[in-house]
Amino acid sequence: MHLDEEQLLAQITLRKLGETLKLVPNQTQMDILMHPAQLKLITGGVRSGKSLLGGLRVTLGAPLGRLFWLVADDYKTAQPEFDYIRHHLEALDMVEDASTFKPDARSYIKLADDFGGAIIETVSGNEPYKVRAKAPDGIVGCEVGKWSKELFQRVLERLVETRGWLWLCGTWENSAPWMMEVWSRWQGANEETGASFSMPSWTNTDTFPGGRADPAFKPYEALLSAGQFMERFGGEPCPPTGAVYSEFDAARHVSKDATYVAGVPVYLWVDPGYDGYAVEVVQVRDNTVMIVDEIYEQGLTHDQVLFKVERAPWCKDVSYVVMDIAGTQHHADRSAVETWRAKRFRVVFKRVHVTDEISRVRTFLHSDGTVIPRFVVHPKWRGVLAEMDGGPSPIVGGGRYMYKTDSEGGLVDRVPISKNCHASTAIAYGLIEMFGLVERPKTSVGHMWADLLSPQKGSIWPTFVR
């Protein structure tokens, strides 16, 4: 079937879906659906409708092939697309048989023979070597930012025989480096003849009737940097290059006002280690987190650091200590947590993903338009300042906390180099313990049928989104 015939069939199917389900794609979604590229990568903002659009791609192509895959890092992640496809095809009376969705095993939909009898099935990419043996006519990749590069390559190989289409959709947050490489390459002419698209949240005017100016976005514009906002809601990449905390501004975040005040609670945020041991001494005043003192040493044991802590003037005001979960590890002696607790300090420890650490610190560095900053450091505390590119380090080999880049300054990995991050990590643990993780919009799947068919919703496009 020629491309013009495929598009004609797609238009007919969309018209039928509009008649039966009042499903009417907006212009951004139509542009992506009807683009002639066989290989597409779509990055969506929060609640942009990317899962619905991926499911619709299979619905439009199902009568034209024999086998279609929904590939995800695990079976459960493919559920939104699977539910959309089943709902759409059943509304068109095209389904002969279908399983209920299984979060831990293969699920399938079989079209009636009058419509080609195609099979649509979920495939887990947990073990990339298992993605083989069959040659689908089309593949939807669900939340591909979680994929390994090996899985991406395996999926491409499956389409060589059939010359099938590939539809990849995901978000930028915590995404694998290969996704940035492919998205950038597919923005222009490329050997694969692929195309990449951003689908901003505000194009979903059913959820955000005000479009880009919808008031739902205002709190996040204040909370996040412009790049972070566009990454989360605009579907556009914000590649981290150079300094991890490029938002740090000495004019704003360094102040001699960050001095210890007796009688005010003190919090110790600690990242223990022989190569670098950071104890950030914190007080919160006027809604501002202040680094009022610092112990930033190299080659000292837990007991030697505690010797300094116990003799500091602020020790009597310490409320509690926050430490990396690595502080529970035993080496030749007691763990850091045990050593600190033996000195009668109250110690809590956390396990936090590095990207969550960075996001939380950035929310305090980011200017929200107020005069008073949310995070300040006394100019004397050179460990944290060096890591945030505010001066030389007090320890040998110390310096700025960095992302790894190539010779041209391009992104190599979205996770920073695990070096020169002792104070930064300690601060992240403390902020998350005190203030929690960065608050994000809830994207619960909910009950599909109730959402889709609710008369209060009007048009269902796209009320059920991931």
Apex 106 CA angle, 103 and 111, nearest 5: 115
Determine the pLDDT at residue 64.
87
Q: How far is CA 20 from CA 84, 88, 136, 362, 460, in A?
A: 14, 9, 29, 47, 11
In what order do the strands lie in the sheet containing 194-199?
95-98, 108-111, 119-124, 67-72, 138-142, 165-170, 39-44, 194-199
Domain layout of the chain by residue ranges? 3-213+445-457, 250-435
Residue of 403, 390, 425 whose CA lies nearest to 243: 403
Query: In whole angstroms, what is the distance from residue 196 CA to residue 39 CA?
Result: 8
Query: In whole angstroms, what is the distance from residue 358 CA to residue 339 CA?
Result: 28
Query: In whole angstroms, what is the distance from residue 421 CA to residue 285 CA?
Result: 25
Determine the pLDDT at residue 274.
85
Determine the pLDDT at residue 11.
77
The three-state secondary structure class of 269 is strand
The three-state secondary structure class of 409 is coil
Quick one: 181 exposed, middle or buried, by C-beta within 10 A (0-12, 13-18, 19+)? middle
pLDDT along the chain (466 residues), means of 10: 64 84 88 93 94 94 92 94 96 94 94 94 78 84 91 91 94 82 78 90 94 94 83 81 80 88 97 92 94 96 95 96 76 79 90 87 76 86 87 86 74 84 95 80 33 31 27
Determine the pLDDT at residue 451.
31
Q: How far is CA 264 from the centre of its chain?
A: 37
Determine the pLDDT at residue 409.
59
Indicate the fold that domain 250-435 takes in CATH. Answer: Nucleotidyltransferase; domain 5 (3.30.420)
Q: What CATH number was assigned to the domain covering residues 3-213+445-457? A: 3.40.50.300
